[in-house]
C-alpha cells in the first residue's frame, strides 16, 4: 500500500488558500469551497471532503468510488484509502461515506458503516 500525501490541508490552511473568495480551483475538476463558514473540497459536483475546524475530516465519495476520487481523498486529507478485492479501506478499517478521520487519518468511530 503506497502512502500518498501531497497537499493535506488543515482548516486554517484551506481558509488562507481560499482567501476572500467562495471557491478556488485546486486541481482538475477539483475546487476548494466555502459555504457559510464550512470549507469543503469538491470533485465534479460532489463534496468529497469537509475540513472541520476541530482538525478532523469528513469523507464522502457520493457513490463514485473511482480512482480519481480515491486519489483526491488521499491527497487532501490524512486518510490512507486503498482498495482490496473491490472494497475500500482506510488504515485497515472498512471505508464508508460519512467517515470522520482525525489529523492522523484514523477513523474517529470504530464501527462499520451505519445501516
- The count of domains in the chain is 1
Task: Give the per-residue pLDDT at 78.
Answer: 96
Task: Give the per-residue pLDDT at 7.
Answer: 79
- Domain membership of residue 63 (yes or no) is yes
Task: Give the per-residue pLDDT at 9.
Answer: 93
Task: Give the per-residue pLDDT at 69.
Answer: 97
- Domain membership of residue 53 (yes or no) is yes
Residue 83 has, within 13 A of its CA and on its CB side, a CA count of 11
Task: Give the per-residue pLDDT at 113.
Answer: 52
- Domain membership of residue 54 (yes or no) is yes
- Domain membership of residue 115 (yes or no) is no
Residue ranges making up the domain that contains 81: 11-101
Give the three-state DSSP class for 76.
helix
- Domain membership of residue 97 (yes or no) is yes
Q: What is the pLDDT of residues 39-74, one digit of tens each?
A: 999 999 999 999 999 999 999 999 999 999 999 999
More reliable by pLDDT, 102 or 5: 102
d(CA 4, CA 39): 22
For the purposes of burial, counting CB atoms within 10 Å of the CB of 4, is it exposed (0-12), middle (13-18) or buried (19 or more)? Answer: middle
Amino acid at each position: 500500500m503506497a502512502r500518498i500525501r501531497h497537499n493535506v490541508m488543515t482548516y486554517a490552511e484551506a481558509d488562507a488558500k481560499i482567501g476572500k473568495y467562495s471557491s478556488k480551483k485546486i486541481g482538475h475538476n477539483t475546487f476548494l469551497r466555502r459555504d457559510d463558514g464550512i470549507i469543503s473540497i469538491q470533485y465534479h459536483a460532489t463534496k468529497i471532503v469537509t475540513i472541520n475546524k476541530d482538525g478532523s475530516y469528513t469523507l464522502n465519495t457520493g457513490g463514485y468510488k473511482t480512482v480519481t476520487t480515491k486519489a483526491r481523498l488521499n491527497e487532501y486529507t490524512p486518510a490512507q484509502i486503498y482498495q482490496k478485492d473491490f472494497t475500500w479501506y482506510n488504515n485497515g478499517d472498512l471505508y464508508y461515506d460519512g467517515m470522520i478521520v482525525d489529523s492522523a487519518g484514523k477513523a474517529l468511530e470504530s464501527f462499520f458503516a451505519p445501516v
